[in-house]
Structure 1
Amino acid sequence: MTHSSVNTHAVSYREIFRLAWPASVAASVTPLLGAIDVWALGQSSRPLDIAAVGLGAVIFSLAYWTFGFIRMSVAGLAAQAIGAEDEIEARAALVRGAAIGGGVGLALIILQWPIGALAFELLSTGSQASAETLASGRDYFNIRIWGAPFSLASYAAFGWLTARGRTDYMMAASLFITLLNIALDYWFVVKQGWGPEGVATGTLIAEVSGFFVVSAFILLIMKSHGGIKNHWRPRDFFRFSRLRRTITVNFDIFVRTLLLAFSFSWFVQRGGAFGDVTLAANQVLLQLFLFTGLALDGTAIAAESLVGRALGARDKTRAESRYTSAVRRTFIVALIAAAAFSALYGFAGGAIITLLTPDGMIREAANTFMPWVVISPIIVVAGFQLDGIFVGATRSRELRDAIIISTIVFLPGSLWLASLFGNHGLWAAFSVYFLLRAMALGAWLPRIQNSFKV
């Protein structure tokens, strides 16, 4: 391979930006919705309801992030099918993912009572959160659970849009959900005073509406790629060889995402050991932590599409060039963005906290632990970017193993450091957790490059 051929086939920064900036906006929706909830409750007469929503929302983080493998597996499998110009398999990947998401969502509704009872029993164990906070969190859970089938089926749709490189449609759907949720939060919480129940109702309506919007975008894409009625072979939807690969990839990413969601849940639950004020402060800071991480995820989502298409392409010389340049250049963009977010929080972190919560005790506690949020973009950026590369390559085993190693270290480490340094120790352990995951994936990255030589 000559140097000129590499330059000819290389992924351009323009292509990365075209995919990444809408994906960043779309990926930021989840924590932004949480920040909107925090803001709305902060304007109410009971600001400690922030802690109640934090407890209720962490259950959905555990449930939804656990099944986040649906989006990632559809993105990787569909991108490789698109790279191979196999439209039938690209659509089959969407059908499989949507069927899994919708089915799991229905199961969550059917099993909502035992899930809720077990979850709140675990969250209350060793926690100093008040009975009133726990009861309000349970009310939040009982309402929001009804949106599960729509939310999880939407994961498959977002993964398919990633594979298609239509992150602009992802952004449009995500903005619709966000803006609708802002309006509903304002009406139900600020105007009507419904508290956590209002937050849950607004989120439910926004999630269901978002499913229909993203479905409309998918139909538009299909119309321009052979027609809505064409390229359907139902017998291929569940062909054994393809289904086995889908199950393998899904299971590995399921384990990875389950442990990641569990670690976030563990962080929230351990914060409750320091009382309602610290729990509420951690909830405020966690919204910023997640917002930054998922905003940085835009370049990772771009990598999913670019890497998947490169590995699926028939021209291996061109494919290897595009893979190499995609990895290098998406990393450069991600690092620049991470530095910018750290600078933003360093200069304006206090003002952002004041905007999110007017309560003096919560604000003071959040400012105490804000330095951990300031450095968080630098800490999480490598892990997020490597996630995108490994998802696009459907190297699910490595994703699974990296998170297992990190979790094994994080759980006892968080107990030890928290016993020595309190909530600062908890944040330190959380930071180490992300660094270990990135180190493990970085060590295994050459495996993908070597696959071009097979």
Structure 2
Amino acid sequence: METSPEVTTPPKPLTHKRVLKIALPIVISNATVPLLGIVDVGVVGQMGEAAPIGAVGIGAIILSSVFWIFGFLRMGTVGLVGQAEGAGDTAEVSAILTRALMIAGVGGLLLIALYPVMIWAAFSWEPTTPEVEALARQYLFIRIWTAPFAISVFALTGWLVAQERTGAVFAIQLIMNSLNIALNFLFVLGFGWGVEGVALSSAIAEVVGAGVGLWFCQSAFARPAWRDWPRVFERARLVKMALLNVDILIRSALLVAMFTSFTFLGAQFGDVTLAANEVLIQFLYLTAYAMDGFAFAAETLIARAYGRQDPARVRRSAVLTSVWGLGICFAMGAAFWFGGPWLIDLLAKDTEVQAMARVFLPWMAIAPLVGCAAWMLDGIFIGAARGRDMRNMMILSACIYVGAAAVLIPAFGNHGVWAALLISFAARGVTLGARYPALERAAG
């Protein structure tokens, strides 16, 4: 019979060292993710044309947006597994991973089946130039087949993060992204496969990443509970997981809709502006991925504090992780302000794209400071499994974003596109911050 540790086991101390131990592997591994985006843009940028850059940007944002809708698997898994760990329920820790992987498999197959509808909807909503659309369709057709594997990685990394095994998450990302980058150079610059080569590189890396993740999660499958089907399908636990995941799904769908609309709204100002926005958005992804390390630390530590029903540990976890997150945002903003022009020239060879990206660089330089609160509070609320608050505050923030875009874009063009995006960041931070006191009270 499987035994579980007592809930009264003394918890590990909450220290800056512990925060860094969780966060730094994620920060380092996530640095390779925007690097991958930079390489994607950079290798096609060597072709000296704006259309391939725009096609990779459009294709990647569509598919990444659709995949990230399933980001609830990572976020929900962290909260539920972390709280089960905090409560000493090791059997449930294994059962949660089984549920998450089943959802990933079904979700991935559903995306493959709905691929024609997804493509039609994407390009009907905001059409691009025929050349960009044709190249983007080639990219998407190759990558959609690995959807079950790509989505499974969310579940696997969430399970590992909840147990503070971020070193394993680092290894998964490092292997995936190193392979992807190497194949990019081989397929695009070596074989001359262009946009199709970028897509094939990503597809292969996603399959490999899922396999590596399963290997790191062997301890979950060493417990009989992973295949204890009465537990896995227990109604009360399924309902709890479903409600949390639906709330996070709605939140994630609205978030990716805002980022997707940013790409398409910029596209209406021409291929050069679209390419410039795509270059700059890589800087934002770099910031978000750097912040993720400390947001993940918040998720893990707050989930465990919730499992122990300890409001004081919730507050200390939030403060410790947020101090580090704020420091990262200040550093990234300064780096973009002073080093942005050099990075732009590195990513794009087209002189028109370079000049256009410089025009909008100041927006990107202030984005980390504006978005800091939203990114950290996301991690805090995920750890607490407060899906309803995340959903409701995202709905409110999305409404603010739509209103800002409707007013600012006609008046200020692409400057209005950037302003609306940053206003949405601020709205998320303010609205989630207003709900934090209730989160802390609920831990008791």
1:94 aligns with one of 90, 97, 110: 97
Cα drift, residue 32 of structure 1? 3.0
The aligned runs of 1:49-448 (5 Å cut-off) are: 49-124=52-127, 129-219=128-218, 221-222=219-220, 227-229=222-224, 232-313=227-308, 316=309, 319-448=310-439
Partner Cα distance (1:75, 1:105) in 2: 20
Cα drift, residue 105 of structure 1? 0.4
**Identity percentage of aligned residues:** 38
1:73 to 1:323, Cα distance in 2 relative to 1, 3 A: same
Partner Cα distance (1:12, 1:321) in 2: 14
Partner Cα distance (1:388, 1:131) in 2: 40
Cα drift, residue 297 of structure 1? 1.5
Residues 147-202 of structure 1: CA deviation (Å, up to 9, x unaligned): 10001011100100110111111011101111101111101111222111111000
Residues 309-337 of structure 1: CA deviation (Å, up to 9, x unaligned): 11112xx4xx3332221111111111111
Q: How many residues align?
A: 434
Partner Cα distance (2:372, 2:260) in 1: 21
Assess if the C-alpha contact under 8 Å between 1:376 and 1:431 holds in 2: yes
Gaps of 5+ in 1: 1-7
Cα drift, residue 230 of structure 1? 6.3
Partner Cα distance (2:439, 2:142) in 1: 44
Q: Which residue of 1 aligns with 2:36?
A: 33
Partner secondary structure for residue 11 of structure 1: coil
Matched AA of 1:152: I
Matched AA of 1:267: F
Cα drift, residue 420 of structure 1? 1.0
Matched AA of 2:120: A
Partner Cα distance (1:45, 1:363) in 2: 12
Residues 238-288 of structure 1: CA deviation (Å, up to 9, x unaligned): 100000000000000000000000000111110011000000110111111
Residues 44-76 of structure 1: CA deviation (Å, up to 9, x unaligned): 253430101111112112211211111100110
Matched AA of 1:163: A
Partner Cα distance (1:323, 1:390) in 2: 11
Partner secondary structure for residue 88 of structure 2: coil
Assess if the C-alpha contact under 8 Å between 1:87 and 1:231 holds in 2: no
Partner Cα distance (1:39, 1:66) in 2: 27
Q: Which residue of 2 aligns with 1:4?
A: none
Cα-Cα RMSD? 1.5
Assess if the C-alpha contact under 8 Å between 1:357 and 1:363 holds in 2: yes
1:48 aligns with one of 29, 48, 51: 51
Q: Which residue of 1 aligns with 2:27?
A: 24
Partner Cα distance (1:99, 1:399) in 2: 24
Partner Cα distance (1:416, 1:61) in 2: 28
Assess if the C-alpha contact under 8 Å between 1:296 and 1:384 holds in 2: yes
* TM-score (normalizing by structure 1): 0.93
Cα drift, residue 293 of structure 1? 1.4
Partner Cα distance (1:367, 1:92) in 2: 50
Cα drift, residue 228 of structure 1? 4.9
Matched AA of 1:408: C
Residues 181-227 of structure 1: CA deviation (Å, up to 9, x unaligned): 111110111122211111100000011111101111111x448xxx4
Partner Cα distance (2:73, 2:350) in 1: 39
Matched AA of 1:65: W
1:9 to 1:52, Cα distance in 2 relative to 1, 3 A: closer
1:92 to 1:231, Cα distance in 2 relative to 1, 3 A: closer
Assess if the C-alpha contact under 8 Å between 2:251 and 2:390 holds in 1: yes
Assess if the C-alpha contact under 8 Å between 1:84 and 1:312 holds in 2: yes
Assess if the C-alpha contact under 8 Å between 1:147 and 1:204 holds in 2: yes
Assess if the C-alpha contact under 8 Å between 1:415 and 1:426 holds in 2: no
